[in-house]
Structure 1
Amino acid sequence: MKLLSFLAIILISFTGFSQNISGVAYYESKTTVDMDNFGNREMSEDMKRQIAERMKNYLEKTFILTFNGNESIYKEEEKLETGGGRGGFAMMMGSFSAGKQYKNLKNNQILEEREFFGKEFLINDTLTNLDWQITKESKQIGQYLAIKATAVKPIDENDFSMARRRNRDRNRDNTNEEENEGEKVADTTKTEPADPFDEIEIPKTIEVTAWFTPQIPVGNGPGEYAGLPGLILELNAHRTTLLCSKIILNPKEADKIVAPTKGKEVTREEYNEIVKEKMDEMRENFRGRGGRGGGGRRFGG
Structure 2
Amino acid sequence: MKKVLFIAVLLLSGVILAQDFQGIATYKSHRKLDDFKVDGDGPQNDALQKQIEEQLKKQFQREYTLKFTKEASMYQQVEKLSAPQPQTSGINITIDESSNLLFKNIKEKRYSNQTDIMGKQFLIKDELQPRDWVLGKEKKFIGEYECYKATYEDEYTMQTVNDGEITEVKKKRLVTAWYTPQIPISNGPAEYEGLPGLILEINDGQLTLICSKIVINPKEAIDLKEPTKGKVVTEEKFSEIMEKKNKEMMERMRGRNRDGEQRVMIIGN
Q: TM-score normalised to the size of structure 2?
A: 0.80
Task: Say whether the 8 Å CA contact 1:66–1:254 is kept in structure 2.
Answer: no
SS at match of 1:50: helix
Give how far 1:288 is off. Answer: 5.4
Structure 1 141/58 Cα, relative in aligned 2: closer, same or farther at 3 Å? Answer: same
Task: Say whether the 8 Å CA contact 1:30–1:242 is kept in structure 2.
Answer: yes
Q: Distance in 2 between matches of 1:74 and 1:99?
A: 8
2:182 alignment counterpart: 215
Residues 1:195 and 2:164 are matched in the alignment: yes
Q: Distance in 1 between matches of 2:175 and 2:257?
A: 39
Residues 264-275 of structure 1 mapped to structure 2, 5 A cutoff:
264-275=231-242
SS at match of 2:85: coil
Q: Return the letter of the residue paired with 2:209.
A: L
Structure 1 165/207 Cα, relative in aligned 2: closer, same or farther at 3 Å? Answer: farther
Q: Distance in 2 between matches of 1:101 and 1:36?
A: 28
String of CA shifts for 1:34-56, please: whole Å, max 9, x gaps. Answer: 26743321444332222111101
Q: Distance in 1 between matches of 2:153 and 2:245?
A: 29
Among all aligned residue pairs of Structure 1 and Structure 2, give the percentage whose two residues are the same amino acid. Answer: 38
Q: Distance in 1 between matches of 2:189 and 2:36?
A: 30
Structure 2: gaps spanning 5 or more residues: 1-14, 261-269
SS at match of 1:130: coil
Structure 1 247/164 Cα, relative in aligned 2: closer, same or farther at 3 Å? Answer: farther
2:125 alignment counterpart: 124
**Runs of 4 or more off by more than 6 Å in structure 1?**
none
1:242 alignment counterpart: 209
Task: Say whether the 8 Å CA contact 1:104–1:110 is kept in structure 2.
Answer: yes
Q: Distance in 2 between matches of 1:268 and 1:122?
A: 10
Q: Comparing both structures, which one devotes a greater share of its residues to strand?
A: 2
Give how far 1:113 is off. Answer: 1.7
Give how far 1:122 is off. Answer: 0.9
Structure 1 17/206 Cα, relative in aligned 2: closer, same or farther at 3 Å? Answer: farther
Structure 1 126/290 Cα, relative in aligned 2: closer, same or farther at 3 Å? Answer: same
String of CA shifts for 1:99-157, please: whole Å, max 9, x gaps. Answer: 110100011111112211121111111112111111111111111111111112344x5
SS at match of 1:55: helix
Give how far 1:290 is off. Answer: 6.2
SS at match of 2:82: coil
Structure 1 202/17 Cα, relative in aligned 2: closer, same or farther at 3 Å? Answer: farther
2:11 alignment counterpart: none
Q: Distance in 2 between matches of 1:217 and 1:83?
A: 42
Residues 4-15 of structure 1 mapped to structure 2, 5 A cutoff:
none
Task: Say whether the 8 Å CA contact 1:110–1:224 is kept in structure 2.
Answer: no
String of CA shifts for 1:15-62, please: whole Å, max 9, x gaps. Answer: 987532210000011101126743321444332222111101110101
Q: TM-score normalised to the size of structure 1?
A: 0.72
Task: Say whether the 8 Å CA contact 2:64–2:75 is kept in structure 1.
Answer: yes
2:41 alignment counterpart: 41
2:246 alignment counterpart: 279
Residues 1:142 and 2:146 are matched in the alignment: no
1:251 alignment counterpart: 218
Q: Distance in 2 between matches of 1:242 and 1:286?
A: 30
RMSD over aligned CA atoms reads 2.8
Task: Say whether the 8 Å CA contact 1:211–1:233 is kept in structure 2.
Answer: yes
Task: Say whether the 8 Å CA contact 1:98–1:112 is kept in structure 2.
Answer: no
Aligned length: 242
Give how far 1:286 is off. Answer: 4.7
Q: Distance in 2 between matches of 1:73 and 1:125?
A: 15
Select between 284-293 and 98-107 the one with higher mean Cα deviation. Answer: 284-293
Q: Return the letter of the residue paired with 1:51.
A: I
Residues 1:226 and 2:193 are matched in the alignment: yes
Q: Distance in 2 between matches of 1:40 and 1:71?
A: 48
Q: Distance in 1 between matches of 2:56 and 2:211?
A: 22
Residues 1:97 and 2:66 are matched in the alignment: no
Q: Return the letter of the residue paired with 2:63.
A: T
Task: Say whether the 8 Å CA contact 2:123–2:229 is kept in structure 1.
Answer: yes
Residues 1:58 and 2:59 are matched in the alignment: yes
Q: Distance in 2 between matches of 1:145 and 1:164?
A: 39
